[in-house]
Amino acid sequence: MNRTGMLTKIKEKTYPLLLERVSNDERFVVKEDSVQLAGSFYEKQQRIALKNFNIINPESIDEYIAAGGYFALEKALFELSREEIIDIIKDFNLRGRGGAGFPTGRKWESAFVEDSDIKFVICNADEGDPGAYMDRSILEGDPHSIIEGMAICAYAIGAQKGYVYVRAEYPKAVESLKTALRKAREFNLLGDHILGTDFNFDLEIRLGAGAFVCGEGTALIKSVEGNRGMPQSKVYRTTQRG
């Protein structure tokens, strides 16, 4: 299948507008083909997860695309096999941000090799530690990055459905994500035949009630299902059963 060219057209149209907006603002600096926050503290950083924070409008899918958003998803769908995507994740040694630092590539590979007709991707955006606002910050400031990452994961492992589990105490984050989901569907970046391919994937939001224990994988899954969020004694991984 051929690319639709939609993302490139949007970037070519929107990126100059983004540059115009920030060019006369001393808070920003334009370097090569990107916009960064100004100041010695920020300019020395290589921002990855937070690269779009305070630069793009989180409610604008056009600005996210102008900053390079959804091009990784497009590349995954048109240029890479599922195995190649997983190998890239393994080669970059991405790890979970929990205490164990479990390799993301191994987790994706474990889900990929499972022989199941139905698979799910769940984003654990439930943070129970007092004053821990990492998940909330990303959902509020760059929600499309969550959607794109989950879509790539879903394509790699063969899932067609995903859930974002987020605390109900984060109303702004929830609204930001709802807006992003609606825009992504409008642009054919979620739903059926994403970007004109045979890949189907959509997301739903599930609200948690603030229970600290629901940060644990099996308890989270029970809560997503609408049950009491209690950890399950297990001899299997959540990439196998849930």
The CATH number given to whatever domain includes residue 202 is 3.40.50.11540
pLDDT of residue 223: 81
Provide the domain limits for residue 187: 6-224
Name the residue among 219, 223, 209, 211 with its Cα closest to residue 128.
211
Asked if pLDDT for residue 127 goes beyond 80, the answer is no
Output the average pLDDT for the chain. 88
Higher pLDDT pick, 232 / 162: 162
On whether residue 237 sits in a domain, the answer given is no
Number of domains in the chain: 1
Query: What pLDDT band is residue 76 in, cutting at 50, 70 and 90?
Result: very high
pLDDT (tens digit per residue) in 199-233? 999 999 998 877 777 777 788 888 888 877 777 77
Bridge-based pairing of strands 28-31 and 34-37 is antiparallel
123-135: burial string, b at 16+ Cβ within 10 Å, e else = bbbbbeeeeeeeb
Higher pLDDT pick, 217 / 236: 217
On whether residue 176 sits in a domain, the answer given is yes
Asked if pLDDT for residue 239 goes beyond 80, the answer is no
Across the beta sheet with 120-125, the strand order is 120-125, 161-167, 202-208
| 160 touches 152 (CB < 8 A) | no
Give the type of residue at 205: I
pLDDT of residue 1: 53
On whether residue 238 sits in a domain, the answer given is no
Q: How many CA atoms lie within 13 A of 114 on its CB side?
A: 22
Over range 91-116, report the average pLDDT. Answer: 88
Region at 102 (left for phi over 0; alpha for psi -120 to 50; beta for the rest)? beta
Asked if pLDDT for residue 92 goes beyond 70, the answer is yes
Asked if pLDDT for residue 57 goes beyond 90, the answer is yes
On whether residue 96 sits in a domain, the answer given is yes
Helix, strand, coil abundance in the chain, percent, nearest 5: 45, 15, 40
pLDDT of residue 96: 81
On whether residue 127 sits in a domain, the answer given is yes
On whether residue 231 sits in a domain, the answer given is no
| 195 touches 4 (CB < 8 A) | yes
On whether residue 69 sits in a domain, the answer given is yes
Burial of 162 (0-12, 13-18, 19+ CB in 10 A): buried
> Cα–Cα distance between 137 and 74 in angstroms, integer?
25
On whether residue 94 sits in a domain, the answer given is yes
Query: What pLDDT band is residue 13 in, cutting at 50, 70 and 90?
Result: very high
- Supply the pTM of this predicted model: 0.90
pLDDT of residue 234: 65
Asked if pLDDT for residue 154 goes beyond 60, the answer is yes
Over range 76-102, report the average pLDDT. Answer: 91
